[in-house]
Every structure is written in structure tokens, then in C-alpha cells.
Structure 1
């Protein structure tokens, strides 16, 4: 059963041909606007321009792979390609003409959950109104698009298992190879002298690689519309100049919670975001956690289907390690060997769960995915990477900037947690009074540009 935390109080406005709804939370001292697709908002731009652009690239990718499908599957592969192209062309038309949101029909394990959620969205509207692409919550619409893309491939056998974003993700990694070399070299050279490193030196090394993981989150293909957004240079040389762009930096709290039990068993979970360079930064962070004995095991949570263009799947993890192992660079191949062994020996543990590719806010996890919530409760620290995870942590509401992070999490407190994210959507909490307003005066796009970041911690359990 999906429970709503949003009251059914709405004001309806018409602007040209578009509608939006303002939802007021009367139970809070701070009113908030549920991010429906607001005219001239970043959400509006996303649905009007960025999502059709991504879908157009999907169509182009499937068409360009026509000969590969023919080679692998014969004429059945061509038939599958035609079905997929017809499906995606229809989907693009639905989106661009603000058609009603329709049920998922592919009969996968999560199909009924999506369709129940559609009924829930209908219950929030007035009699006779239907959720549509421009009259539904932004978070829902975005997630729904990627689920429909997956449905389009599922209904197009024998090419159903093809990852339409694979080429873009692989290219993103390859274009970032110089930055990968620099990072792997830094990690392995530090580890050769780790036994002689002071406590202060260890703390500095951890802080530096946590910041690298933060700025690695800038490499997001869903924000760039699938265009190249790779890391061309070493982030390590820029960390000092980037420090002033970290709006909330709770690194000290993260260090304290990990270092206080340094000689006992400790588990850290990382809910992954993007493949490519960001995945390398997350692997490097996981490596240093084990090497500094801040954790005895690291658990990775990835997506079970292709998602938001560049989100990490099991295929991406396997492919990345294979690329590292096949290189002739000493330190890259060394990282590949160690990380492959970590997965084999259980020092690193891989998880996937369909909840990560549902539209639900995380505060509903205990009810909709109690097994996953229980799994996270075993952790000493959960790191949530990226913007989408932050939106789901905070319910994607337009909170007042000064609202405490713990309040925005509402009922989601499975374990101490930390959001590591560059800002690419208009939601942010936990800022000092006036900080957000001051930034808005000098940089109107400060919340969506990826220039600013947070390392935001909450210890509530």
C-alpha cells in the first residue's frame, strides 16, 4: 500500500496551455511547493526539451544498431528494431503533446507497482482529471519515461536485453581515461606508504577522496541530454579551488562515525549513481575505506535496469573492471585486480533492488520495500550518491533552504546517512540563513548547474 504524505489541497493555475498545482503542507512551519511541472521551471524545461532529446538519442541508437541486430538475430532482430522504433516514436508523441500517463503493460515484477502508483496519482487530482506529462510530479514523469523506455525494449524481442544507453556510458568512461589514470595512480601511490601515514594524514586522504567522489557526480549524462559530459582532467588538482563550492560539508561527522569503531566490524553502503568516471571515484573511495580500516565491508547498490541514461548497472560494473584489467597502465590494472578480488572475496558486495527504479520517495521504503529497508539498517553508514537520490531523500519538494536535512528526510532513517551530490535540480535543504537567496542573486542557475555540491550528513536512526 502506497501512502501519501501530500495533502489533497491544491490551487489550480493556467498559464498559456499548461497547468500546475501548488500543494501546501499545512502540517509544517515551512510551506513547500510539490514540484509539479511548473511553467518556466527547470522541471518544465526537462519535460519539454531534455527528455525528448534523450528519447531522440535512444531512437537514433536503436536505428544505428540495426546491422548488429541483423547479424546477431537475423530478420527477427530487424523486426525487434522496428517494433522498438515504433514504440519510441509513439512515446515521444505522447510526451510532446501532453497525453495522459498510461499503464505499463509488460508484466515485469514491478509492473503492478507502477500501475498502482498511477492510480495513486489519479487520486490526487479532481474528478475527471488524468495525470499527464505536463500535469504530474516531475520526479514521477522522469522515472516513468525511463520505465517506458525499458518497456519499449522488453516488448521488442529478441533485442529486449539491449541497453540503449550502453554506448553513451562506455564512451563517457573512455573519454575520461586520463582522469582515471591520475586517480588510480594517486590511490595506489598513497597505499604504498599507508603504514607510515599519521592519523591526520589518513583523515586528509579520506577527505580528499570523498571530495573526488563528490565532484565525480558532475559526469551525469541525463543532465547533459546524453551529450559528452566526461571528466577530461584530474580532479585532484582542483580540489582546493572547488572547496568554496561545497555548500554543506559534513566530512568531519562522516569521519567521526567511521573512525570511532576503527578496530571493529563496520559496514558502509554506497547507493551508486552514474557509471563511467563517477563509478571509478566511488570504487576509489570504497578502496580507501577498506585500506584505512574505516570499513571492513562495502556494499554497492546499483540499478537493475538501464536508468537515467548513465546510472550504474551490474553490466557497467563488470565492464569497468574488465576495462581496467585490460589496460597497459600499471596502476589502473592494479586497481582492476584488487577490485575484482574484493568482489570475489566479499569485501565488496553487490546489490540490486527494483525499488531504486520506482518513482517512490525514500520515506515510503519501509512500507513498499521492507526487505531493502532492513538491509540498509545493517549499515553503519549509507552514502547516497547523486541528484536523483537527493530528490527522493527529500521528497523532491521545494523546501525552504534552511529546513534541517533530518526534517526533509521525514520518516527515512534506516541508518546514519550522507548525501554526496552536485546540485542539478531545484531542491536543497540545510543551508545557513540567507545563503540560498544570496547565491540566487549572483547565479540564477546555481541549483541546476552542477557547479555546487554537498556532503550532507544525518545521524538520526
Structure 2
């Protein structure tokens, strides 16, 4: 459907570059201004105090921002059907209330992977590379940029590669235009710390610490276990990563093949051989697929909340590594 929309525009210049979903994405960004300001303020305070932070404090800050990026995935225009889905309150303040809704939390494994990747260079320099497979524009994209900024500023990553869609997709999915627009709008904000964040992000892009990439595979119907065959160049690129973060529900569905798995099937098994590098899915549940749960966990959820798999109230942080015991 989204490809047909794009085709109609493409064949009718001068509308061929027009994003029919731009207005909704823009509105989502501006309606989340208060949350964005508080998040950028939190980030700048962290960076200011970073030299004095212990490893435990650094780890705690990382886990908070990982959860902010996780819950940012609630803001999804393809689900809200045009309803207000913006983030109003401070995302940091909301985290304790959301903790009990995380059904699987492998965050500590993500941290361990980043720490282990730091000394990968022969000179002892920190050469870790993180790839973020983006989902939604608007507030969620800002949470991803804030997390990426922290990773670089804390020395946990030397390079961040963002992957978005090559055409407007699933209403609010990030395109290159959305990515660049968001950084420019953050720079231009009439708020000290929001603007400072945007200036830093622009600098990261200019010096190559950050880079944006798109590939036609992300808008094809294939599940990710087919990537090595159907998009060997992309799979090869991802193999160079120390950690891949997959954002959102659609990416989760493609990771697991959108199959009707038993809920207790291990995440590793549901990936069906897709293991280019250590990877983590950050996802709020919006579709009828979920693996990696403990025995009885799904049944308990179903009795408490029949719509637990689709109402975006619950979330998972699920990790898998090629080196891990299967």
C-alpha cells in the first residue's frame, strides 16, 4: 500500500518528492516539545558531569536512556490513526511507573556488550560501532538521537550508523528528510539545552561520527532471516557492527517472521539464523507476536489484560548474540 502511494506521487511531478505523512510527523514533533526540552536538559546535565561519573553511574544513566528510547516507541502514527500521540510529560520521570510493564529486560546484556566492545582497537582506543534501525519520526527519533549522543559522549561508541526508510513508510517511519529536519529543528529551538543538543548532533553528522543510511530492503516484505540472501550488501554491513538496536514493533515482527510462535520460544530461535552481530529489540507491543516469555507469563497477562499484545502498554528489551549459548 505504501509503495503504491509513493508510486502515484513519483509519477506526478512536481509532487514526486512530496511526503504525504510529513504533516503528521511534524505535528507529533512540535506537540512533544516539553518532553523533548526536558530530555535534552537531562542529556546536557549528564554530559557536563560525565568526567566525575563512576562506571555504576554511567551504567545507570545508559539504562535510563535505553528505556526512554524503548518507551518513545509508544508514539506511533500508524497505530494512533491521527489521534494525539505526542509525549507531554518528562520521559525520565515516567520511567519508574513503566518498569513493571517491561516483560523481558535484557538491558544488562546490552550494557555488557558495549563495555566489551570498547577496547576492540589494536591501539586500545574505543572503536565500538552501534547501528540503530530506526522506527518512528517525531518524539521517538529524538529519544534515539539522545541515546546515540550519550553513547558517543560516554565513550561507549565511536561510530553510530542510523538506518531509516528510503520512501515514506508506515505513516511515521523515519526518512532521510525527517532525520535532517529533526536535527535542524532541534538546533533552531528557542531553548538553551535543546539547541545545544541539535548543534552537537549536526557536528556529529558533519565529522562522520554519526551517519544516516537507507536501503530498499527495509521497505520490502521479507523477514530479516532472508536478508543474507536478498540483501547481502546490507547484511555484510551489519556484520561490522558491535551492537544493532532494532526499534519498534514492525522490526520485531520481521525479526521473528511474524509467526504465531509459542510465547515461551527463545528469542534466539525465533530469529531463525539472523545473527549478523549482537542485536537488541526495543519494542512496545502492538501486534500478535511475542517470544521469550517465561512459562505461564503470557497466560497471566491474558487474564489480567486481554489486549496485552496490541495496546502498546507492555514492552520488551530482548537481546541476542552470535556468541551466546543457544
Instruction: Identify the TM-score tier after normalising by the shorter chain.
Output: over 0.9
Are the aligned partners of 1:402 and 1:430 in contact in 2 as well (CA < 8 Å)?
yes
| Pairwise CA distance, 1:346 | 0.7
Match of 1:400 in 2: 262
1:445 aligns with 2:301: no
| Pairwise CA distance, 1:316 | 0.5
Are the aligned partners of 1:248 and 1:430 in contact in 2 as well (CA < 8 Å)?
yes
| Pairwise CA distance, 1:437 | 1.1
1:329 aligns with 2:191: yes
| Pairwise CA distance, 1:398 | 1.1
1:249 aligns with 2:111: no
1:188 aligns with 2:44: yes
Q: CA RMSD in A?
A: 0.9
| Superposed CA offset, 1:340-386 (max 9, x none) | 00011011011110000111100110111000000000000100000
Match of 1:272 in 2: 134
| Pairwise CA distance, 1:318 | 1.0
Q: Which of 262, 266, 284 is equivalent to 2:118?
A: 262
TM-score (norm 1): 0.68
SS in structure 1 of the partner of residue 235 of structure 2: helix
| Superposed CA offset, 1:39-85 (max 9, x none) | xxxxxxxxxxxxxxxxxxxxxxxxxxxxxxxxxxxxxxxxxxxxxxx
Are the aligned partners of 2:282 and 2:317 in contact in 1 as well (CA < 8 Å)?
yes
Match of 1:430 in 2: 292
**1 CA distance for matches of 2:178 and 2:12?**
22
**1 CA distance for matches of 2:84 and 2:237?**
35
Structure 1 unaligned residues grouped into runs of 5+: 1-144
Number of residue equivalences: 317
**2 CA distance for matches of 1:211 and 1:193?**
21
**2 CA distance for matches of 1:382 and 1:299?**
9
Are the aligned partners of 1:406 and 1:460 in contact in 2 as well (CA < 8 Å)?
no
Which structure: larger Rg?
1
Structure 2 unaligned residues grouped into runs of 5+: 120-125
Runs of 4+ in 1 over 6 A off after TM superposition: none
| Pairwise CA distance, 1:156 | 2.2
**2 CA distance for matches of 1:222 and 1:375?**
29
Are the aligned partners of 2:117 and 2:242 in contact in 1 as well (CA < 8 Å)?
no
Q: Which of 280, 285, 288 is equivalent to 2:150?
A: 288
| Superposed CA offset, 1:1-39 (max 9, x none) | xxxxxxxxxxxxxxxxxxxxxxxxxxxxxxxxxxxxxxx
**2 CA distance for matches of 1:360 and 1:204?**
37
Match of 2:81 in 1: 225
Match of 1:338 in 2: 200
- Aligned counterparts, 1:36-435, within 5 A: 145-263=1-119, 264-435=126-297
**1 CA distance for matches of 2:63 and 2:300?**
27
**2 CA distance for matches of 1:254 and 1:153?**
41
TM-score (norm 2): 0.96
| Superposed CA offset, 1:245-303 (max 9, x none) | 00010011000011123343110000000000000000000011111111111100010
Are the aligned partners of 2:103 and 2:314 in contact in 1 as well (CA < 8 Å)?
yes
Are the aligned partners of 1:246 and 1:455 in contact in 2 as well (CA < 8 Å)?
yes
| Superposed CA offset, 1:111-137 (max 9, x none) | xxxxxxxxxxxxxxxxxxxxxxxxxxx
Are the aligned partners of 2:265 and 2:292 in contact in 1 as well (CA < 8 Å)?
yes
SS in structure 2 of the partner of residue 285 of structure 1: helix
